[in-house]
Structure 1
Amino acid sequence: MPELPEVEVVRRGLARWMIGTTIDQVEVLHPRPVRRHEAGIDDFVARLNGVTVTDVVRRGKFLWLTLDSGEALMAHLGMSGQLLLEAPDAPDEKHLRVRLGLQGGTGRELRFVDQRMFGGLAVVEMIKTTDGGPGGLGGVPDDAEIPPGRPEPARGEGPVEGEYSAEEALIPVPVAHIARDALDPALDVDLLAARLKRRETGLKRALLDQTLISGIGNIYADEALWRARLHYERPTHKLNRPTLNRILADAQNVMREALAQGGTSFDSLYVDVNGQSGYFERGLDAYGREGEACHRCGTQIRRETFMNRSSFFCPKCQPKPRGS
């Protein structure tokens, strides 16, 4: 499933084109992708027709469009979901599920395409964030090139160069329990390290816990652990604060690098809003490299089963903790 960098690539593409546009047409071509909208298809259509998109925001792997109605259009990509911006006269994709017409100078429409249909869209209520901070990363990057004919949107400014915070301290109800993510300027790294220190669990299990820190999945957990030279079973409560801070910094750095390359695309299902794949797969040091030489020491990368998935690590650079 897509992780933080892949979802952020999509968010940035949507923000570039959609902030300030009005949804003037809603067409649901299959009911399953809107199943999370409990009031049904007719209500989904009614709540979107005529609303204006005020921001595109992400927290962890969760993405939403804030609307001038005070609600949000949540998008969950699942295993194969794609949000594509296409010309209205472009041929329909084979697995097109929902179409949104846009008014406001973009000349495009938003299409939700999903082959396996584990993803979906829903209009949801917004509530205040518990910490009073912004819901997540939002806005248009300061260096974004706005397409010709597109109204100039408000630019976001955050404390970290190249990162942007939504102004309103609101978050969709389904995301309210999700922790801030590794690239959120409002993330308190020291507080997170202290919480990790109090947990008696394995390090990778903690990194995958979306109530502790969101956005990190199997790929980037393995990559961050490789960089930090830590085994995935290392107990968090036995790690000192500098080590915990280092693993968090490595997680941030690897996701920034992946984001700069458009994310990691293992097949044609993971694409940006223009249908283009990312290239970070070529820069992976651990994930998916079983039997290949470690880029650091030459030892063969090993794969082990972990939480019904796989963990990839270097047995020399990342030795197992004693007693495991």
Structure 2
Amino acid sequence: MPELPEVEVVRRGLERWVSGRTIASAEVLHPRAVRRNAGELADQLKGREIRSAERRGKYLWLPLGDEGAEPGGPEGEAGEALLAHLGMSGQLLVIEPDAPLEKHLRVRIGFADGGSDLRFVDQRTFGHLLVAPLTAPEPPSRGGRVRPVPEPVAHIAPDPFEDVFDEAEFAARLRRRRTGIKRALLDQSLISGVGNIYADEALWRARLHWARPTESLSTKKIAELLGAARAVMSEALDEGGTSFDSLYVDVNGESGYFDRSLAVYGRRDEPCRRCGTPIRREAFMNRSSYSCPRCQPRPRDAHL
């Protein structure tokens, strides 16, 4: 599933190519791709202007306005947004309107300017689009920005790149969880955007085994782990994200290449880039966890 860097790559493409454009039409080719409002999507979107492209963790949304109207609704109302979750194989592509239709095209959005379509392609149909109300604004961030979020993702915690992310609060909540550190990193109600790939990579950089008890971590070690997570995801973002196959692409259909820089994920039995010890693969929550036996020794009081 795409994680924060892959979704941010898509968000930046949407900001560039669809922000400020007015929607002329929306065609739903598979009802499951829009969940609750398959028959209503065209009416909900037609004539609406896409104000910007936003993201929290693995979720994207496009705030909507009425053409020619000032941003924001009446006092106390935050408006609506087109919310997108890419699932395991979802792609938001900017495609010329006369280009052939993709095999797994689920939703096609056309614009009043006659330019490129926005197409939602999803081979496995686990992702979805949804027009959702935006919540009352969050408290202003350190930069003074007030940002509403869609109601369906209001329970999702800020990601470590957001101004509103509070490191001290995160550290306190993390230690109270009394679970393994990787399980906590994957909890999107605690910290969003970190998935299996970047959790393994951050833990390797911080020299922590995935089963290390959260209650045993010092404030300094938690700060080190957060720094490692930010660093590895920033590096991945610079390289377009991690693409193991053709399903993970940006809005122009191009793959990222951070997979070449991964230190442990997917590198079973290959030498650790730090000490040369063969990387181990262990079962974890019906998936895999990769680590270095020497750099990341299993703690005696591990949460398994």
Scaled to the shorter chain, the TM-score interval is: over 0.9
The counterpart of 1:53, out of the listed 47, 50, 56, is 50
In structure 1, the residue matched to 2:28 is 28
Matches for 1:221-260 after TM superposition, within 5 Å: 221-260=199-238
Deviations 1:286-315, CA, capped at 9 Å, x for gaps: 100001000000000000011111100000
- Residues 74-122 of structure 1: per-residue CA shift (max 9 Å, x gap): 11111111000011111111111110002347x2110000111111111
State the 1:323 CA deviation. Answer: 3.7
Q: How many residue pairs get matched?
A: 290
* Mapped contact 1:305–1:311 kept (Cα < 8 A): yes
> Is it true that 1:88 corresponds to 2:85 in the alignment?
no
8 A Cα contact 1:190 1:245, kept in partner = no
Cross-structure match for 2:73 = none
What SS does structure 2 have at the residue aligned with 1:230? coil
How far apart in 2 are the matches of 1:283 and 1:201? 29
* Structure 2 CA distance for aligned equivalents of residues 169 and 29 of structure 1: 32
TM-score by length of 2: 0.92
The residue aligned with 1:171 is 149
Task: Name the amino acid aligned to 2:180.
Answer: G
59-68 vs 185-194, which moves further = 185-194
Q: Which segments of 5 or more consecutive residues in structure 1 lack a partner in the other structure?
A: 135-157, 160-164
> Residue 252 of structure 1: SS of its match in structure 2?
helix
Q: Percent identity?
A: 61
**1:88 & 1:320 partners in 2: Cα distance?**
54
Partner residue in 2 for 1:143: none
Structure 2 unaligned runs (5+)?
67-78
Question: Per-residue CA shift, 1:205-259, capped at 9, x if unaligned?
Answer: 1111101100000000000000000000111111110001000110011000000
User: SS at the partner of 2:106?
Assistant: strand
1:20·1:104 contact (CA, 8 Å) conserved in 2?
A: no
1:173-212 residue pairs with structure 2 within 5 A? 173-212=151-190
Mapped to 1, the partners of 2:181 and 2:113 lie a distance apart of 47
Aligned to 2:8, the other structure's residue is in SS state: helix
Q: Out of 282, 299, 304, which is 1:304 matched to?
A: 282
Q: Which residue of 2 aligns with 1:14?
A: 14
- TM-score, normalising length: structure 1: 0.86
Question: How far off is 1:42 after superposition?
Answer: 2.6
1:43 lines up with 2:40 in the alignment:
yes
Amino acid at match of 2:28: V
Q: Secondary structure at the match of 1:52?
A: strand
> Which residue of structure 1 aligns with residue 139 of structure 2?
132
